[in-house]
Structures are given as C-alpha cells and as structure tokens.
C-alpha cells in the first residue's frame, strides 16, 4: 500500500469529530442532545431564496462563469455598498463557501512556508486551510480576561518575520463573538501598511452585531486597498449553509486576476446556490431585524445563565452567535466527552466544542469551550440547566484536586 | 503593494481564456459563434433531477455531512455496483465536482514536489490542480498517429523516479475521447503494483462509450484495491455541470479517512446539488440511450466531416464527447484566434480550443485543437462547413510557407 502524504497525515481533525460517536451513542440511548457545538443555525432560510430554487426555470443546470453569475456579482456589490464598502462587481469572485475564498487567499498571496498571523482563539478550520496551502499559522493570543480584545500592536510586531505575508482576522469573531472596534482595526491598518502585509478579513458574520454596535469593515480602512481581502459567505446571513456560496473580494486587480485562475481550474461555483444567493439579496430588512432580535435574546439567556453558575466565566459577545466560556473543570475536552457519555439530566445532555482546537498555542484553552447559540430559547434554557447540573456532579472540577488533597 | 505568491503567478490560465475576448467581439459584430470549445453540453438535465430541486421541502438549506448525504452515498454505491465496481457507501465521499475530488487525491497522496505521471494530451485543468498542490506533472506522450492509445509500458517505466507517487488517467479521455481497453488498464495495474503507486482514474465520462464498447473501471483491476482512486462527477452524466457534485472513491480506508479531513475543513458539499444528484439516480435508461445515440450521431458527423477536409486528421473517439484534431495550419492557437477575429462564413464562425494547453511537453500539439461535440447536429454541420471554408482561405496553412518559397 502506498504511503499517504505527510501533509495529509498532518491535516487536523475537526475539534468535535472525536465527540461525534459519543453524541450518537447518547442519542441511541434515547437521550435528547442539545447541539451547541456547531454553527448550523435553526433559523429559517428567507422565503425569497427558497422560492427562487423552487421556481428555477432551467432545462440544463449549466456551469456559471468561473467568477460567478454576473448579475449576482452586481447585486452583491450593491449590497456591500449599502454598508459603504465601495466595491464594484469586478472586485468580487463568487466562491464555493467562505472556505474556498480562504483557500484562494492563501494560495494567491502566500507561498508554502510563509506565515500568517491570526489572533487566537480562531475558527478551527483556518488550521485545515493553512495545512492544505502549506502555510504556517503564527498565533497572537487574545485573552478571555480582556474579553478577547485585539492584542496590543507590540504583540503583533514581535511576531513579524521575513516570512510574514498576512494577518487574518474574523470579525465579528468565530469562536469568541468579539466585534473589533474602529480603533482596533486602525491599529491593524497601521501594522499592515508598515510591513506591507495582506489583511484577510473573514466578515461572514457582518450582519450579526448587537447592542447598537455597527460593523466596521476592513474596506473602510483608508490607504490599504491593495492589501485587503474580504472573505464572505451567505451561509450565516441567510441561514443557508448548504448553499455553499461565498465570495472573495479585493480591490487589488492583480490579486483578483490571480485568484480567478484558481476559480477557472474548478470551473464554476454551484449554480443552484448562486440562484438562491442572488434571490436572497431581496430579503426584507424585517427578516434581519427578527433574526438579530432572536440572537440577542438567545445570547442574553446564555450569558446570564452561564455567568450565574459558580466558576463559569463568559465575556459578553458583541456579535456572531458564539461564545468562548471558561469552565471550572480541569480539562474541557474530557468534560465534553463526559457530558455525552456519562451524564444526563431528565434524559437530556449537551454537546459543546472543546476550545483547545481553536488555539494554535499548545496548552491554551484547555478549560474553555465554544458554545454556539443556534438553538431556540427554550432549548437553550434546558441546555444551560443541564450544564449547571453537570458541573455540580462532575468529578474533575478545578477544585476536585484540592478537595482530594483535603480528604 | 505586497507580492503575489509565486505559485499564484505560476498558476496556468485556461487554454481558451485568451480567446474569450475575441469570441465576445465577434458576437458583438452580430456573428453566430459555434462554441465547440467547452464541455458544456446542450443536453437537457433529466426531469427527475430538475423536479427534485423544484420540489425541495426545506425550511433551512443546511450543511450536509462532510462526506455527503448518506442516502445519496448509498444510492451512488448501488449505481456503481450495477457496473460491477463493488463499492460500499463508506468508500465514497461526495465532493464539490470532480475538481475537488482531484485536489483531495493530490493532497492526500502526494507531498509537494512529488510527481504524477499523466498520459498527454490531458484535461488542461490537471495542471491547475497540480500547481495548487505543488505536485509535478510528468507527461507520457500519447500520439495522434496511434489514435492516442496508452503509451507502451516501457515509456512509463522510463519516467518513474523516487518522487513518483501516482499515475493519473482520464477514461474515456478528455480531450482525446480515447477509451482504454481492458488490456491497457491491466498494463497500468502491473506498473502500479510493481512500483506501489496510486492510480487515480477520472471516470466522469464512464457512460459515454460508443460502438458497443463498454467501460472498464480501474476498480475492476484485481490486487490493487489500496492503490486505486476513482474521481467521478454528475456534470456530464446528467448534463448538470452547474450542480458541482462529484465523488472521491477508494477502498483504501486510511486514504478515505485522510481525504475526509479535507472534506471536514470545507464543511459540506453543496446541499442543493446533492438533492439533484440523488434524484438523478432515478434517471430512466431511456435517457442514457437517447443521449448516447445523440452523441454517436454527432461524433459521426464531426469525424466524417473533418476527415473529408484536406490535411485534417482526426482519430475516431470511442467515448466522451471530445476529439483532438490535427489541422493543416502552422499554429493552431493563431488559427483559433483568426477564426474569431478575421473570419466569417455566412456571418458564422467557430470557437475551438488550441490543444497545446492539453500537453505538458512544450511544443507538442501546436497544430492540434480540441473539439467538443456538445452542439446539436445542425449546428455541428454548420460549424464543420465554417472550418472547411476557413481552411481554404487561411493564410498560414502548413503549405503556405512552401507556397511562399515557390512564389
């Protein structure tokens, strides 16, 4: 049997994959498992998008242009321009989800062995894309005690080497829900400008900003138009993750021409998803108002509920629909497994994601989990009660060692 | 402005991309352009697949499992098993087109700098995927005078080095339409076994075999189950290129587990395309009979018509819907451009693909073009007449230099 590639072996597993069999086993026992482990919302896709799919008037499901359907690109430019991003349709390549846009960015901007600085904790799949592209991730650590604010400029500058080609941020952040302020982004602009780096911003949660805060895009930063790439997706905006439609956006025409060659090699983004995406541009504002309202309600229930539990620490997320939570346990991964394997409360339990997989620095996040508030309020309340009860009986809490010593 | 990556700069352009502006200009002049340059058939998608999309019963377009929808994987296994491939659904990962399956194969099996041997001329985008994965393409040349048969075993063995990890074939072939015989595939099996290589077979045209010939899959080869990967796609089978649904198939469980990590990083193949793909499994045999009948009719018109033109050479393709054709011109790329820019016959012209981009060896295929017989018979007849007329007046034929010398 021929060997697998080294990079294939090095490719990281999903941080929750190990837990999936335990969740399945729990369900087989008849237990209700509240899935707060993935970013698959229960929010309905806008009717206008679903109807566009149902009413397709095609005899042949053809390839689209490699850059995407032009009318969709134009509509998307109009959408972004409502937020003052000032882009034209030619700055936009439609991609197969935000995932492909990130791969296009890594491949077009960085050589194998080059470095990208990413504030951690970060979306775990960035590791997978970096491994695929042979790019080295250099983490700069954001701390739960600072609410996961952008690390100080000196922390970035310490990490910049000859191989540093880019900084990658997610704003609002998955997994922290942190929303960068204008000032923080201007700090990044200064670093990027000084060292002539690419600034890749994953802005797929742009619409999910709470408490009257507004999203500030990297496209609003002056003087770095050639450095900036925005990664976008319709997955969360319209709760249509399965459409697999995203976008690679840059005002750097040479970069767009290079990314387009990657787009041409794979021929076309999904045509049906694009039809849904283009129609979704007509989604009424009331849809967003309701969705944001719903998420704020869920967030408030979650954060309030969690912070009431002794030893639990959770900053208030300003956007997206995730929170990174510190638990009073020795090892969050073991706790997550225990929840599925050994615990039940009224025949219910919770699946959450250990946060260590969202850090690149070994040893960080071992007491933290990521919780996605993608379930309705009733389910969320039940899940929090489960967690509360679980922590009361879990044997390996942070105090258990101390307790054992006393005994 | 930061530099682009070297690999981004090295990424090949599509062989027809340079010609697109000339085609657009011709159309703006009001000219009919017969597009025989791309594999986008005019055949209708099966009604059963279109109806499945129109009748979707979803409130949320969700991610599927990263490996694809299980019922679809099971249905696909049944489909393959009708052809005696003997696969289970666990051997199948649903991918975003055959393109993604090829990337998974390169990334999982080869390290950057490793070599893959590919009989040339080959599907031009293999170059793009190889560049993306940092893999070196080593061509073994198939000759138009042999009808593009598999090169002799010694030709392969001459090319095998310590870095050779795989052989990649396309069967039936794009761009040649060549259908490998059982004996040719057994030759490959012997090489693969002797040198413990991966054998990656792009079998997306498996249903398109003519003249009573049947397709022999690499899965029918005994004793190399751990070496074999089949790349598949619904694009051509059901004329739904825009669905972007393919498959990565292997009986090597470690390889499947590795490829699955790449699949997890990008979360999910397109859900809507999978719904269409699963429904398409119910396509009646009569659909295939009609389609094959249509393609045979087109092929016969094309090959007969072309071979009647003086100086044109075209072997009869046994499958797929392409032919590589040698023309009596000095440089096929210039001829293709001239057809669009300077020629018209009854206000019509033809767009065809210069074949040099389908060879990795510099200088080969310069007098050849690839023709896709994806238009109906009437259009095809008109296109052939255009080519015939064009070659009568084209100034740079192979004889023109001789003529000039005489004058």
Q: Residue B130: closest CA among chain A residues belongs to which residue? A: A265
Is residue B278 within 8 Å of residue B72, measured between CB atoms?
yes
Q: Model confidence over B276-316: pLDDT tens digits? A: 999 999 999 999 999 999 999 999 999 999 999 999 999 99
Indicate the residue of A53, A100, A269 with minimum beta-carbon distance to B272: A53
Q: Model confidence over A127-150: pLDDT tens digits? A: 999 999 999 999 999 999 999 999
Contact between chains at B60 and A239 (C-beta distance less than 8 A): yes
The band of B402, judged by pLDDT with boundaries at 50, 70 and 90, is low
Contact between chains at A272 and B270 (C-beta distance less than 8 A): yes
Please tell me the predicted confidence (pLDDT) of residue A355: 96
A63 shares contact with chain B (CB less than 8 Å): yes
Contact between chains at B132 and A258 (C-beta distance less than 8 A): no
Q: What ranges in A196-346 are assigned the alpha helix state H?
A: 253-265, 271-280, 285-308, 332-341
- Chain B residue numbers with beta carbons less than 8 Å from the beta carbon of A13 are 261, 264
Lowest mean pLDDT across A38-47, A395-404, B266-275, B333-342: A395-404
- Chain B residue numbers with beta carbons less than 8 Å from the beta carbon of A8 are 107-109, 258-259, 261-262
Contacts 24+ apart (CB under 8 A), A382-387: A382/A34, A382/A348, A383/A34, A383/A36, A383/A348, A383/A350, A384/A301, A384/A302, A384/A305, A384/A306, A384/A309, A385/A345, A386/A34, A386/A339, A386/A343, A386/A345, A386/A348, A386/A349, A386/A350, A387/A306, A387/A309, A387/A350
Structure tokens at A121: 């904790």
Contact between chains at B270 and A96 (C-beta distance less than 8 A): yes
Is residue B133 within 8 Å of residue A269, measured between CB atoms?
no
List, by residue range, all CATH 3.90.1150.10 domains of chain B.
Answer: 6-44+286-395
Indicate the residue of A11, A255, A265 with minimum beta-carbon distance to B262: A11
The band of A118, judged by pLDDT with boundaries at 50, 70 and 90, is very high
A137 shares contact with chain B (CB less than 8 Å): no
Q: Is B302 exposed, middle or buried (0-12, 13-18, 19+ CB in 10 A)?
A: buried
Against a cut of 0.90, is the pTM above it? yes
3-state SS, residue A125: helix
CA atoms of B93 and A88, how far apart (whole Å): 37
Alpha-carbon distances of B153 from B171, B183, B185, rounded to whole Å: 17, 12, 11
List, by residue range, all CATH 3.40.640.10 domains of chain A.
Answer: 47-280
Q: Is B150 exposed, middle or buried (0-12, 13-18, 19+ CB in 10 A)?
A: buried
A162 shares contact with chain B (CB less than 8 Å): no
Contact between chains at B242 and A268 (C-beta distance less than 8 A): yes
- Residue B406, pLDDT > 70, answer no
HEC states along A179-205?
A: CCCHHHHHHHHHHHHHHCCEEEEECCC
Structure tokens at A389: 């009860």
Indicate the residue of B2, B54, B97 with minimum beta-carbon distance to A266: B97
Q: Could you give the dihedral angle defined by the CA atoms of residues B13, B15, B18 and B22, in that order, rounded to the nearest 10 degrees?
A: -150
Please tell me the predicted confidence (pLDDT) of residue B366: 96
Q: Model confidence over A267-283: pLDDT tens digits? A: 999 999 999 999 999 99
CA atoms of A66 and B343, how far apart (whole Å): 28
Is residue A89 within 8 Å of residue A73, measured between CB atoms?
yes
Disruptive mutation site among A3, A5, A163 for chain B (greatest number of B CBs within 10 Å): A5
- Residue A403, pLDDT > 60, answer no
- Residue B14, pLDDT > 70, answer yes
Domain A6-44+286-406 indexed as CATH 3.40.30.10:
no
Contact between chains at B241 and A267 (C-beta distance less than 8 A): yes
Alpha-carbon distances of B12 from A86, A258, B38, rounded to whole Å: 30, 10, 17
> What is the largest distance, in Å, between two alpha-carbon atoms of chain A?
75
HEC states along A207-236?
A: CCECCCCCCCCHHHCCCCCCCEEEEEECCC
ipTM of the complex: 0.94
Indicate the residue of A9, A43, A99 with minimum beta-carbon distance to B267: A99
The band of B401, judged by pLDDT with boundaries at 50, 70 and 90, is low
Q: Residue B164: closest CA among chain A residues belongs to which residue? A: A2
List, by residue range, all CATH 3.90.1150.10 domains of chain A.
Answer: 6-44+286-406
CA atoms of B121 and B8, how far apart (whole Å): 23
Domain B6-44+286-395 indexed as CATH 3.90.1150.10:
yes
Contact between chains at B60 and A44 (C-beta distance less than 8 A): yes
Task: Tell me the CATH number for domain A47-280.
Answer: 3.40.640.10
- Cβ neighbours of B312 (radius 10 Å): 18
């Amino acid at each position: 049997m021929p060997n697998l590639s080294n990079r294939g072996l090095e490719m990281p597993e999903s941080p929750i994959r190990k837990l999936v069999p335990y969740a399945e086993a729990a369900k087989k026992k008849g237990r209700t498992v509240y899935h707060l482990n993935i970013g698959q919302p229960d929010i309905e896709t806008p009717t206008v998008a679903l109807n566009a799919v149902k009413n397709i008037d095609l005899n042949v499901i053809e390839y689209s242009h490699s850059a995407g359907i032009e009318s969709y690109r134009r509509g998307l430019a109009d959408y972004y321009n409502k937020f003052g991003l000032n882009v034209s349709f030619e700055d936009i390549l439609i991609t197969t989800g935000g995932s492909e846009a990130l791969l296009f960015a890594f491949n077009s901007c960085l050589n194998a062995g080059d470095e990208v600085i990413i504030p951690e904790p970060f979306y775990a799949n960035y590791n997978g894309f970096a491994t695929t592209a042979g790019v080295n991730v250099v983490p700069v650590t954001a701390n739960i005690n600072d609410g996961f604010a952008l690390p100080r400029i000196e922390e970035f500058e310490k990490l910049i080497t000859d191989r540093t080609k880019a900084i990658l941020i997610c704003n609002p952040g998955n997994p922290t829900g942190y929303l960068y302020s204008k000032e923080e982004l201007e700090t990044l602009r200064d670093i990027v400008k000084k060292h002539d780096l690419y600034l890749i911003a994953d802005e797929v949660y742009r619409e999910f900003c709470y408490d009257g805060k507004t999203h500030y895009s990297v496209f609003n930063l002056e003087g770095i138009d050639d450095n900036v790439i925005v990664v976008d997706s319709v997955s969360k905006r319209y709760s249509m993750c399965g459409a697999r439609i995203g976008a690679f956006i840059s005002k750097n025409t040479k970069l767009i021409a290079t990314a387009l060659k990657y787009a041409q090699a794979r021929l076309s983004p999904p045509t049906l998803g694009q039809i849904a995406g283009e129609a979704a541009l007509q989604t009424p504002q009331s849809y967003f108002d309701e969705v944001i309202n719903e998420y704020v309600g869920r967030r408030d229930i979650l954060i309030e509920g969690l912070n009431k539990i002794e030893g639990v620490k959770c900053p208030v997320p300003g956007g997206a629909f995730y929170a990174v939570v510190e638990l009073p346990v020795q090892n969050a991964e073991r706790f997550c497994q225990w929840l599925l394997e050994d615990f039940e409360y009224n025949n219910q339990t919770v699946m959450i994601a250990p946060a260590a997989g969202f850090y690149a620095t070994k040893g960080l996040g071992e007491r933290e989990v990521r919780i996605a508030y993608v379930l309705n309020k009733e389910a969320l309340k039940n899940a929090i009660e489960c967690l509360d009860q679980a922590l009361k009986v879990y044997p390996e809490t942070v105090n258990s060692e101390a307790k054992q010593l006393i005994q």
